[in-house]
Chain A
Amino acid sequence: MTQTVSSGDTPKGMSRREFLHLAWAVAGGAAALTTGALGLSFFAPRIVEGKFGSVFDLGAVDSFPLGSVTPITNGRFYLVRQQDGGFLALYHKCTHLGCAVPWNPEKGQFICPCHASAFESTGQVINPPAPRPLDRFPITLVEGQVKVDTGIRIERDRTSISDVVYP
């Protein structure tokens, strides 16, 4: 090592000057990275899941008639009660570009006002451009009470009978 330093231009190894250059460059890079990471985390979302991240207690199972679609505006979702009694909680955000999708009772479809995507009451896409069914939230039925956890948003490529919760 002492030889390298004294000769300064040995093909292998590094002179003290080169080493210091590199060390400063690395320190500079590390400073830039740290500042960048600090900046990014500073600007990171403060609320992890919007206002609606909590569990919604919607009351008794029987208060939702068969074949009904009930908008829960604070929770940003629809509670769907199918004809066979099963429950689904569908996020109201269109999977295409995020518009709020209203329920159209005459047609029995969710029809997006932005780009005319249409969904069945199960969330299944009838009309593109929406690329996948409406996202859903998990439902638990505890002692005849319907509870929806809006903290867990479930994306799905296709609808399935296992999405439906039965009392």
Chain B
Amino acid sequence: MTGIDPRPEAITQRVVESISRDDLPLVDDRSRLRYVMNNLILHIHPSKVSKASLKFTYTWGLGGLAILLLTILVGTGIMLMFVYTPTPETAYTDMLRLQTEVNFGQLVRNLHHWSGNLLVIVVFLHLLRVFFTGGLRPPREFNWVLGVFLLLLVVGANFTGYLLPWDQLAYWAVTVGTSLLGYLPLIGEPLARLILGGSEVSGATLTNFYGLHVAIIPMLVFFAGSFHIWRVRKDSLSVPRNLPKRSDPTASSATVKAEKEQQEKVPTLPHLVSIEFVFALVVLALLVLWASWVNAPLEAAADPNHSPNPAKAAWYFMGLQELLLHFHPMFGAIVIPALAMVGLLVFPYLHFDSDSEGIWFRSLKGRRMAWVGAVTALVVTPLLVLLDEYVLDLPALMPSLPSVISNGWIPLGFVLLSLWLFYVLIKALFRANRDEARQSLFVVLVVSFVVLTVIGIAFRGEGMMLMLPWEVL
């Protein structure tokens, strides 16, 4: 019995000490640094961060926002698992019961639904932010690859979750989505059958999607996400920089001061953690407010014999769906997305011309070229859609050719040629370097994709005809 203090308060203290190895409360920077290092959750941060990288308008808190949303999704998702059975007989009635009988059921569903949708937007914006501030440059190439993989997982999670309410929206969006797979050469048909668990969306599909949605995808997100965060920690945060000033002798002292600020490091606790905490709380409040007012959609129960008109895919697939209206399905669903994916994955491994990490849009010229790209895409993409819809009918012009060529290779060749021409012109006309020209091309592609998505959401009505937004809704 020697050495053990039998007084009750001593026992409590021993329990507390056995949980946290640090002396609480934290009194100085030194103990805070150690605490960040030793704490299970906080240790995903370095114990010190550069003061400049804390600037909110540099990261917009998007990575942290994604983690917050994932946490909300796991919490609400687990709650929903207790009131939902994934069979065709019960799924839809469980949804109705959830919304009318379960206490706060509608709110929990809304939170889950809107967080999931918001997450798609947030990871996409995160990707853009990293791209435009050069955060994908060496040594962070592989973390960009992991990020792209996580983006795909997030879309996959949304897509599999989309089926679970088993309403008309769910049934037909998934029917269309899985039919896209069928155009994959050789393995497409068996793969679609494997995912569907048969030849059409059925109870087996619901079982498969449920398993993917609640177990497999979350597990992959957990591992890939941990890897992603770990790499951020190892590669250190990229630091924002201002545009290099023109050689102005009076500005030099300011530059030196700025350089010094760049190198200054501050303890993560409280400087970074307090920003994250406040931001998370504000977002959570806004999200709960939104979810209290706006209900997640639920249409009539799924009817395998009756497709609604129009039968649209989930909104994040609208850009793809719009492509499908203009290209042979093989190109709209497989070739073009595959090219985009390869482009995204290869990009960080290309040679970079200039040292521009941390500078928004690379340089002053880079900013102008980004505008040129954005305006070009905003003008040209709708024009091409209108042209193909009302004027040009390629398969009819070339009746002797199979539609894979007339409605696939030929328009794709035209688009790729135009993009290449744009790249060459940007370099020749504006004397942009490769970095700036590539970025401009990327802007063209992103803005085109967004434009196509908007057309799909707001300008496609009954029979997928082009119409004005107020006629669509």
Q: Are A98 and B179 in contact (CB under 8 A)?
A: yes
Q: Are A116 and B324 in contact (CB under 8 A)?
A: no
Cβ contacts under 8 Å, B176 to chain A = 97-99, 114
Shortest Cβ distance from residue A109 to the other chain B in the assembled complex, whole angstroms:
12
Q: Are A129 and B325 in contact (CB under 8 A)?
A: yes
Task: Give the distance in Å from the alpha carbon of A47 to the alpha carbon of B194 in the complex.
Answer: 11
Task: Give the distance in Å from the alpha carbon of A56 to the alpha carbon of B276 in the complex.
Answer: 63
Task: Give the distance in Å from the alpha carbon of A115 to the alpha carbon of B306 in the complex.
Answer: 15
Q: Are A99 and B198 in contact (CB under 8 A)?
A: no
Contact of A129 with B328 at beta-carbon distance under 8 Å, contacts A45-B193, A114-B307, A114-B310 already known? yes
Say yes or no for B329: interface residue by CB 8 A criterion. Answer: yes
Q: Are A98 and B178 in contact (CB under 8 A)?
A: yes
- One digit per residue, 1 when the CB lies within 8 angstroms of any chain B CB and 0 when it does not, for chain A 114-152 equals 111000000000001101000000000000000000000
Task: Give the distance in Å from the alpha carbon of A132 to the alpha carbon of B4 in the complex.
Answer: 84
Task: Give the distance in Å from the alpha carbon of A112 to the alpha carbon of B179 in the complex.
Answer: 14
Shortest Cβ distance from residue A53 to the other chain B in the assembled complex, whole angstroms:
9
Say yes or no for B172: interface residue by CB 8 A criterion. Answer: yes
Partner of B198, one of A45, A114, A115, A128: A45
* Residues of chain B from 161 to 183 with CB closer than 8 A to chain A in the complex: 172, 175-176, 178-180, 182
Q: Are B197 and A129 in contact (CB under 8 A)?
A: no
Say yes or no for A156: interface residue by CB 8 A criterion. Answer: no
Say yes or no for B403: interface residue by CB 8 A criterion. Answer: yes
- One digit per residue, 1 when the CB lies within 8 angstroms of any chain A CB and 0 when it does not, for chain B 190-220 equals 0001101111101010001000000000000
Shortest Cβ distance from residue B384 to the other chain A in the assembled complex, whole angstroms:
17
Task: Give the distance in Å from the alpha carbon of A96 to the alpha carbon of B175 in the complex.
Answer: 11
Q: Are A99 and B200 in contact (CB under 8 A)?
A: no
Q: Are B198 and A116 in contact (CB under 8 A)?
A: no
Partner of A47, one of B204, B325, B463: B204
Closest residue of chain B to A130 (Cβ to Cβ) is: B329
Q: Are B328 and A131 in contact (CB under 8 A)?
A: yes
Chain A interface residue bracket vs B: 20 to 34
Say yes or no for B375: interface residue by CB 8 A criterion. Answer: no
Q: Are A128 and B395 in contact (CB under 8 A)?
A: yes
Task: Give the distance in Å from the alpha carbon of A93 to the alpha carbon of B179 in the complex.
Answer: 10
Task: Give the distance in Å from the alpha carbon of A48 to the alpha carbon of B211 in the complex.
Answer: 20
Q: Are B310 and A113 in contact (CB under 8 A)?
A: yes
Q: What total of chain B residues lie within 8 Å of the partner, measured CB to CB? A: 36
Say yes or no for A102: interface residue by CB 8 A criterion. Answer: yes
Q: Are B204 and A45 in contact (CB under 8 A)?
A: yes
Cβ contacts under 8 Å, B462 to chain A = 113
Partner of A50, one of B202, B307, B325, B407: B202
Q: Are A115 and B197 in contact (CB under 8 A)?
A: no
Q: Are A115 and B178 in contact (CB under 8 A)?
A: no
Shortest Cβ distance from residue B309 to the other chain A in the assembled complex, whole angstroms:
3
Shortest Cβ distance from residue B142 to the other chain A in the assembled complex, whole angstroms:
24
Q: Are A131 and B311 in contact (CB under 8 A)?
A: no
Task: Give the distance in Å from the alpha carbon of A73 to the alpha carbon of B304 in the complex.
Answer: 9
Cβ contacts under 8 Å, A102 to chain B = 306-307
Contact of A50 with B311 at beta-carbon distance under 8 Å, contacts A45-B193, A99-B175, A114-B464 already known? no
Q: Are B395 and A113 in contact (CB under 8 A)?
A: no
- One digit per residue, 1 when the CB lies within 8 angstroms of any chain B CB and 0 when it does not, for chain A 49-83 equals 11100000000000000000001010010000000
Q: Are B463 and A113 in contact (CB under 8 A)?
A: yes
* Residues of chain B from 397 to 433 with CB closer than 8 A to chain A in the complex: 403, 407
Given contacts A97-B324, A113-B311, A128-B403, 12 further A-B contacts (CB under 8 A): A45-B193, A45-B196, A73-B305, A96-B329, A98-B182, A102-B306, A114-B307, A114-B464, A116-B464, A128-B395, A129-B328, A129-B407
Sample (29) of A-B pairs whose CB atoms are under 8 Å apart = A43-B208, A44-B194, A45-B197, A45-B198, A46-B197, A46-B204, A47-B197, A47-B198, A47-B204, A48-B198, A49-B198, A50-B199, A50-B200, A76-B200, A76-B304, A97-B329, A99-B176, A99-B307, A99-B311, A100-B305, A101-B307, A102-B307, A111-B463, A112-B307, A113-B308, A113-B311, A114-B172, A114-B311, A153-B199
Shortest Cβ-Cβ A-B pairs, 5 listed: A113-B309, A98-B179, A97-B179, A99-B307, A114-B311
- Chain B interface residues (CB < 8 Å from chain A): 172, 175-176, 178-180, 182, 193-194, 196-200, 202, 204, 208, 304-311, 324-325, 328-329, 395, 403, 407, 462-465
